[in-house]
Chain A
């Protein structure tokens, strides 16, 4: 079974703090993704990576950056957290190729106060 784990289930941070969200997958998947889920908007892609050290912007990359130093780990960074980044953050991974389904982690509920 594919396992995607996220470092925290719940996180509370203050405005202006630097925030790191970590994601690890154990199935040797090439692709990894970061989404945020908001009511009425569904899942929106922030960034994705198709290989180590490779990254591409998704639909809403503003205010975020990512790091992928190892194949199994993909980090999402909020350089200076703001209240509008309060959301559920979901990490996913998939095999290389465009027709493989994505496997999701349990999510991190981030609250920025």
Chain B
């Protein structure tokens, strides 16, 4: 049973516009959340993270928002660029647990 869900398998956005990727989780023990980006034929690379003590974390064009009461997080990419076309995975972990639980991924395509 997947504890981290990304319900949108794909997203298409025009260059320069905002991309919003969503992620829901069911395990209330999760307190640390990460986003990974994956290009074809490469392993995932870490993008941004957020701890449950925060509700927002920003890094350049990438911002992650966390709504603990709704068990929901989102990743905003502004502005979207062609190089952002990739698969994005949401992941979560619980304190004292080495393991990450991943969502199924969202494929983002940025159109020129």
A interface residues (Cβ-Cβ under 8 A, vs B): 4, 9, 31, 35, 40-45, 48, 50, 58, 90, 92, 94, 98-99, 101-107
Contacts and interface: CB of A to CB of B under 8 A. Distances in A.
Contacts of A4: 43
Given A106-B41, A106-B43, 20 more contacts: A9-B41, A40-B9, A41-B104, A42-B2, A42-B103, A42-B105, A43-B44, A45-B100, A45-B101, A48-B98, A48-B99, A58-B99, A98-B95, A99-B32, A101-B49, A102-B46, A102-B100, A104-B45, A105-B43, A107-B42
A109 to B, nearest CB: 9
Contact of B44 (A31, A90, A98): A90
A42 B103 CA distance: 5
Interface string B97-112: 1111111110000000
B95 A92 contact: no
A50 B105 CA distance: 26
Interface of B: 2, 4, 6, 9, 32, 34, 36, 41-46, 49, 51, 89, 91, 93, 95-105
Tell me if B's interface is mostly helix, strand, loop or mixed. loop
Nearest to A4: B43
Nearest to B51: A99
Contacts of A50: 98
A90 B89 contact: no
Contacts of B6: 42
A69 B27 CA distance: 34
Given A43-B89, A101-B49, A102-B46, A31 B98 contact: yes
Given A40-B9, A41-B104, A107 B99 contact: no
Contact of B46 (A9, A44, A103): A103
The 6 A-B residue pairs whose C-beta atoms are closest, nearest first, are: A104-B43, A43-B102, A101-B46, A42-B104, A42-B102, A104-B44
14 contacts: A35-B102, A40-B9, A40-B104, A42-B89, A42-B102, A44-B102, A45-B99, A48-B98, A50-B98, A90-B44, A92-B43, A98-B97, A98-B98, A107-B42
